Amino acid sequence: MSSSCKTLPLYSKSEFEKHVKPNQCWVSIDQRKIYNVSKFLDENPEGYQYVLDHAGQDVTQLLKDMQTDEPTDLAHQLLSDAYLIGYLATSEEERKLLTNANHVVEVKPANGNRVDSGFVKKLPTEEKLAIATDFKTDYEKHHFLDLDKPLFMQVLFGNFTKEFYIDQVHRPRHYGKESAPLFGNFLEPLSKTSWWVIPIVWYPCVIYYIRTALLNISTPLALFLFGVGVFVWTLIEYGLHRFLFHFDDRMPESNIVFTLHFLLHGIHHYLPMDKYRLVMPPALFLALCYPFYKLVFSILPYYCACAGFAGGLFGYVGYDVTHYFLHHRKLPPFMRKLKKYHLEHHYKNYELGFGVTSWYWDKVFNTYLSPTAPLSRAKYD
C-alpha cells in the first residue's frame, strides 16, 4: 500500500464498545473510523452529557441529523482528525489480524470517499480533505506529477505545455497528514515552515519598529501610521496573490518558469492542505519584503516610516497565520464565511477570490468569488 495512507490500530467491536467513560469516550463514523472524543468532553461542557450518552456507538446518522448546509460546532469538532485514533475492524479483519492485540495495519479508505482532482460547486467536507489522493490512479489518469517521487525535478524536467501545467497544478490533490517530497534530499526541511514560526520571527520586528516610532513621534500619529500600514498591507496581499503568485497566463513556455511558479505558489494549489507549506518561509518573505521596506523608508521620515512599516509587517503576520487557520482550524461563526471563501478559491475557481484576510479588494477590482461564480474549466480530463 502507498505510504500516504493513515497507519493506525484496528480495534474489535467488543474492544470499541468498552470505551464509554469520560476519560475514554470513543465513537465511530461509518462503522469504520474510531474517534477518542474525551478531550472534546473536557473542552465542551455544554455537549458533555449529549456525547457521553453515545459513547461506544456509531454516530454517523446522529451527525447527519445535526447537519444542514454546514456542520454544527459539535459535528465539526467530533470529525476532527485530532481525535482519530484507529479503525473498527471488519469481521474478516478481526479473524485474520487481531490475534495480536498490538497489531497495526494500514487502512485505505474507499475510493468513493476521496476528492478527485477537479473543481466543484460545493466544497468537500473537512473530513474528505484529510483523505489522501490515490497517487497511482491520479498519475495514470493525468500523467502530471507522481506524488510518490520528489516533485521539484518532475516539474523542472517535465514534458508538458504551459496550458497543461496551469490546468493540472491548480487541481487539488491531497497527500494525507504528511508533506509530499519536494526535493527528496537535504533541502527538504528548508521547504517546510510551521505556522508558529511566523509570529515568533516577525513580531519582535513589529515591536521594535512601533516602539521606535512611539518614542520619537506623537502616539496618535504613530498609531495612525500603523493603521495605514495595516490597510496598505491588505492591498499588497491582494496584489501579490493576484499578480505575482498567479502569474499563470503570463508565463512563457519554460520549465524553469514553471518551476519558479511551482515553488512560489503552485505547490500550494497542487497540495492545498499541506500544513507545512501554507505560510511563507522567512527567507522568501525577506526577499519579497525588501523592496517595500526600501520604498517606505525612502518616502517617509524615518520615525514615521517605522510606524508605517510596523503596521504593514503586523498585517503580513496576521495574513499568514489567518491563511493557515483557514485551512486547518475550526473557526468561530463570523470567520466561517471567510474560510469557505478562501477554500472555494482552491476548489471552485482559482481565477477569482484573491483576498485571504478579506474580500474587500476583490469587490473593488471585480474579482469577487460569488456563490454563483462559474467553476474553473478543467481542460485535460
Alpha helices in 35-150 (DSSP H): 38-43, 48-52, 60-66, 73-78, 91-97, 135-142
What residues form the annotated binding site for Zn(2+)? 241, 246, 265, 268-269, 323, 327, 342, 345-346
DSSP-derived secondary structure letter, 332: -
Residue ranges of E strands in the chain: 7-11, 20-21, 24-29, 33-36, 57-58, 84-88, 104-106
CA distance 122 to 340: 10
Burial of 99 (0-12, 13-18, 19+ CB in 10 A): exposed
For residues 356 and 237, give the distance between their C-alpha atoms in angstroms, rounded to a whole number.
8
Cα 259 from Cα 252, distance rounded (Å): 12
Q: How many CB atoms lie within 10 A of CB 218?
A: 10
Which DSSP string do the residues of 333-366 spell out, in sequence order? HHHHHHHHHHHHHHHT-TTS---SS-SHHHHHTT
Closest by CA to 317, choosing from 245, 230, 211, 213, is 230
Pick the closest to residue 151 from 191, 176, 184, 174 (CA basis): 184
Q: Are 1 and 132 in contact (CB under 8 A)?
A: no
Q: Are 112 and 10 in contact (CB under 8 A)?
A: no
How would you classify the pairing of strands 7-11 and 24-29? unpaired
